[in-house]
Each structure stands twice: as C-alpha cells, then as structure tokens.
Structure 1
Amino acid sequence: MDQEDRIALFLDYENLALGVRDHHGGRPFDLRPIADALAERGRVVVRRAYADWSYFDEDRRMLTRSHVELIEIPQRMGASRKNAADIKMAVDAVELAFEREYISTFVIGTGDSDFTPLVHKLRELNKRVIGVGVENSTSALLPPACDEFLFYDRLEGVDVPPAAGRRGRAARPAGTG
C-alpha cells in the first residue's frame, strides 16, 4: 500500500460537462468512468470540481455522492469572469503540489489548452500528470504535454452515440498518435 500512487483530481467541470453534452447527443457527464480509470492507477485522495454551480444544479448530487468538493466560481452579471475557474484551479493545484508531497499524480480534467502551463509546472515539480478530456473538444496542445491523456469518450462505461464513433484505445501515453 505504501507504493500506491496518491492522486489529486481537478475538474474544469464546465469544460467537461459542456463537452460531453455537445458531443454526446446531450447526454450528461458521468464521473464514474473517470473514477474507475483512476482506481486502476492509484488512490484518489483529493477530488475538486470548479464551476458556477447555479448552471449545473442537477450534477451537484452526483458529484457530492462521489465525495467531490464543489468549488463555487460565481459568474457576476456584467462582469467577465471567463477564466476565474481556470485560475483558481491552477493556483489550488500548484499549492497542493507544495503542501502535500505525498500526492504523486495530478489529474487535470479539461480540454482547455490554457492548462498546458499548469501541466508543465506540475511536471517540473516532479509530479505525474494525467489529462482527461472529451475528444472532440480537447485542444491538440494539451495531450502531448501530459504524461498520459485519457479521452473521456474512450473510457469503459461511457456510452458514445453512434455518430461520435470511437477511435483507438482508452488511454494513450503522451507523445504517441
């Protein structure tokens, strides 16, 4: 058990939920396939999801049942807060990398290339980084930056609509095609 990887999961929830909805025929995001894939890689000790939860009221219960800490990033009327969740998530991940040395792996759930500098920083801090994103809404820049990238669409337990199709394996080491 001492050899088991300790994993911190950070979800850019809006990016994932909207990616699934838009590319999976309106289906809701399901955390279980990600949780199952991570269970094969170690023990998830931190679970956080970042969003304006007023837009994802239905998803709150599913996430809290899975012991995910919901980080509220409210959108204020008339104020642009486009990157507020991204910035908070990045700051929290780097802070955790310093505070909890026993965490060896960081999972960044997003398809947003804005997280590429975070991935590079975590790897510089000697942390393994696994990315998770929806295939058709993930920037081409993000997967090669990670040690491993999991396309949500390819995970066991994800029901992909026939039009979306499946290509290849569930997990792909970074740098491979």
Structure 2
Amino acid sequence: MIVFLIDADNLSSAAWIEEACSSLEAAEGSLAVRRAYGSAENLKGLAQTMLTWAIRPFVNLSLTKNTTDVALAVDAMELACQLPKPTVIAIGSGDADFVPLVVRLRERGIRMICVSERTKMASEAVHAYDSVLFVGREAVKERAKEEARAPARKTPVKRSAAKKASDTTAPEPLAKKVTEKKKSASAKSAEKAEVTLEQILQAAPALKTGQVQPLGDIVMQLHHAKLIGRNAASTKLFKKFPGQFELTPEKQPNQLRYKSS
C-alpha cells in the first residue's frame, strides 16, 4: 500500500501537488491513500486538485498554534500500525519537524519519500528520507536540462552502431524514423486542436439548462470526454468563451453557468 500525506500549509501549490501525484504513481504505483492537511483557506485553494485526484481534505483545528504537522503525524503512525502496513509513505513537506516521524516509520520497514519544493526543503531533513522528490519550477528546469543533455550522451553509441551496420540495413531504420516523425507530427496536431463550444455542451449537457453547475463536476465530464488533460487548467478553457460561460466567484471559481444566446 502506498500512502501520500500532504502538508498543505507547506506544499500549497495545486500545480506542484498534481505533479507530485503523477510522479509518485509513475515511480511507485497507485496511491491507495491520499490526504491533504492544512488550514481551511489553503485547502479551499486546492479544491479542484483534490477533486481531480480524489484527495481527502483534513482541516486543522483553528487554534493559536498550527496543528497541521501533528494531525498528519498522528494519522501516519495510525496507518503504520494497521495490517497490512504501508510499503511506502510519501510526506508532502520539506519541514524538518517531520524528521522524528520519518525515522520511526523507516525503522518499521516503511520506505519514506519526501516531496517538496527545493526552496522549502530543510537541509537537515534530506538524509532522514530514503529518497526526495523535488517539484516546482526549479525541478522542472533541472529535468529539462537533463533531457537536453541526454541526446549528447547517446550520440557516440549511435555513431558506433552506424559504423558496424552494413549498407544493406540502412534503409530500414530510415523508414522507421520517417514513420516516427509522421506519428509525432500527427500527435502534435491533435494536441493543438481547439475544443469547441459544441463539444463542451455535448460532454456536459447539464450546462444547457442555464443553471449554475459545480465546476468540478463539469471538469470531470470533460476529462472523461478527453477534451482536457488531467493536469490542464480548466478555467482557461472556459475563459476562451467569455460570452457563453460565467465563472464564480471571481477568485478561485468553483461554479460555472452557461449563458445561452
């Protein structure tokens, strides 16, 4: 069982949480337990992300002292005592306060992963974890640099293989390259295709009533219709049709209404 517990007062960006969920699932497998802990204000800003990824929100008590860290730690220990116990627990925070928790869970044989923005990662906490997954702008730039350097490392291998290959085998890889380029071009053209108003209304027919609809419900229907990607910003799509759609409230909208002409 793989668990992802998010300190939403520390890892508070919706984009970075979505990136973390995607990266963890790709590397570790399906996230069985997904929870976000934080203040009501921070969790409200993550409403769309929590809906998309089915993350359970846990609002901390409104006291003079922040209770988020303790609430997350208590649940982590409770999960560790259950059977079967988690094989992996990822903590969405770079806060050093979690080090004692991480050490105890690691001693119980649970693999511990930290998910954090590089600027928020406490240096003394790095070695407490089995691994650290950085998300955010700096992490994206680092991965882009690594990808840019990758072809340069592979070039000598390709040249060596080309020298050993005979002239008779040259046409076959060339044909494969042409086919791959065609597939890549067709995929890019599909991505650039604009979503039309008719496609939106067909995928979410409830909008045609003109009544206010929960934005999250409409977004899920568009996901199922493959009109927008899982990590796409849905509000940008509706803002392309200012005369047809009304998003409310203006800040962090969670409702949508179709203004039929």
Q: 1:133 aligns with which of 113, 116, 125?
A: 116
Instruction: State the TM-score, normalizing by the size of structure 1.
Output: 0.73
C-alpha displacement of 1:74: 3.4
- Higher strand proportion: 1
Higher relative contact order (CA 8 A, sep 6+): 1
Q: What is the CA deviation profile of residues 59-81 of structure 1, one whole-angstrom value per residue up to 9, with x for unaligned ones?
A: 112212211010011324xxx22
Aligned partner of 2:18 in structure 1 is 32
**Bigger shift: 51-60 or 108-117?**
51-60
Instruction: State the TM-score, normalizing by the size of structure 2.
Output: 0.51
Q: Distance in 1 between matches of 2:81 and 2:133?
A: 25
**Where do 5+ consecutive residues of structure 1 fail to align?**
1-5, 21-27, 154-159, 170-177
Aligned partner of 1:60 in structure 2 is 47
Aligned partner of 1:145 in structure 2 is 128
Q: Distance in 2 between matches of 1:48 and 1:61?
A: 14
C-alpha displacement of 1:137: 1.3
CA contact (8 A) 1:31 1:63 kept: no
- Describe the SS at the equivalent of 2:133: strand
Aligned partner of 1:99 in structure 2 is 82
C-alpha displacement of 1:56: 3.8
- Asked if 1:8 corresponds to 2:9, the answer is no
CA contact (8 A) 2:18 2:49 kept: no
C-alpha displacement of 1:29: 3.8
- Structure ID, larger Rg: 2
Amino acid at match of 1:62: T
**Where do 5+ consecutive residues of structure 2 fail to align?**
147-261
User: How much is the aligned-residue C-alpha RMSD, in angstroms?
Assistant: 2.1
| Moved beyond 6 Å, runs of 4+ | none
Q: 1:42 to 1:165 in 2, by over 3 A?
A: closer
Q: Percent identity?
A: 27
Aligned partner of 2:98 in structure 1 is 115
CA contact (8 A) 1:16 1:29 kept: no
- Higher helix proportion: 2
Aligned partner of 1:47 in structure 2 is 34
- Describe the SS at the equivalent of 2:101: helix
